[in-house]
Amino acid sequence: MGMIEITLIGLILIVVIIITVLVMMGNEATRKQRIMSVIQGGKVTGASGPSEQDEQNKRRADIAQKLKNSKDDDSDGKRKNTIADALGRAGLNISTRQFWIYSIVSMIFFTFLAFITGQPPFVIGMVAIIALLGIPRLVLRHMALKRQKEFLQEFADALEATVRLLKAGMPVSEAIAMISKEYTGPVGDEMRRIYDKQKIGVPLHEAAQEATKRMPLTEMGMFATGLAIQAQTGSSLSEVLTNLAGVIRARFRLKRKVKALASEAVASASIIGALPLIVAAGMWFVNREYINILFTTPDGKILLGVALGMMTFGVFVMRAMINFKV
């Protein structure tokens, strides 16, 4: 394989990476615009008068503006995520030092496996780096996503329960304390932390805003913004929480509908992604000498590496195409 072919393959990989990044950026911008339009809401229908409509629209606009400002303020923080933030999002009560100790143990374990299986030094070095810096962070990300999913499953019910307590005359802080006792899992944990912060003198809306670092969800940010507006203007918190619970349930229904409609595309992408591996495994058992060229010759190793790279980027592109965010 000459330098021209290798250069062309490299250019193709760069173009694929650029297209993937542009698609992801476009999806994120569309999602933010849709969220802001949902928060701002439309005209209110019913028997209420124009003045009440103006007041409700004004409150929605205030919520939208404060949520936008809070997102702008946290934009720098999102680019400077630390290990402590990742541990908080995963719900782990360990220190950063303990995390690095576990990472070193992971590196030693996987490096030893690569060594006893007779891998070349380059592969052993790559395995050590991935086991130290990659695998522990992937585990934290998986735990954080799982925790956020569990949080959203109960958050709407918790908000409606909070609304009922507020309408019964209970203060906001006591309603949050009651929710922390009645709900287990991430919802109860986060509400308990918010209440504990409030007991030591931290304003309730600031404690909720701090919770958005551990639970970086749009719904949690809207909850913190609602508390901030209620603390500053004395607006109706029950109305904000009721609307937020309705939005969460509507998003769940839309997610299930999108998942059902995209199931065929997901199955097709899974088959396309697994087909080269299945063909290679079949060729290994049918004609091992024919496929051994990819593992024993220099040109074969280059082709195998390029194929694996292109397959990896292809999988990411297909995932971006079928991963609809609601």
Residue 26 lies in a domain: yes
Residue 20 lies in a domain: yes
Which of 49-58, 145-154, 257-266 ranks highest by mean pLDDT?
Answer: 145-154
Long-range contacts of 235-244 (CB under 8 A, 24+ apart): 235/59, 235/62, 236/59, 237/166, 237/172, 238/163, 238/166, 238/167, 239/56, 239/59, 240/59, 240/63, 241/159, 241/160, 241/162, 241/163, 241/166, 242/159, 242/160, 242/163, 243/41, 244/159, 244/219
Residue 43 lies in a domain: no
CA-closest candidate to residue 191, choices 168, 218, 238, 157: 157
234 — phi, psi (to 5°)?
70, 25
Residue 317 lies in a domain: yes
Res 48: pLDDT: 44
Residue 166 lies in a domain: no
**CA separation for the pair 150, 20 (Å, rounded):** 29
Residue 257 lies in a domain: no
Residue 164 lies in a domain: no
CA-to-CA dists, residue 29 to 35, 60, 108, 233, angstroms = 10, 21, 41, 30
> Which amino acid, one-letter code, is at 32?
K
Domain residue limits at 10: 1-38+262-326
pLDDT single digits (tens) 280-324: 888 888 888 888 888 888 888 888 888 888 888 888 888 777 776
**CA 263: distance to chain centroid?**
21
- Does the structure show a pLDDT above 50 at 8? yes
Residue 217 lies in a domain: no
More confident residue, 154 or 9: 154
Number of domains in the chain: 1
pLDDT single digits (tens) 12-52: 666 667 776 666 666 666 666 666 555 555 443 444 445 66
pLDDT single digits (tens) 87-139: 888 888 888 889 999 999 999 999 998 888 887 888 888 888 998 888 999 99
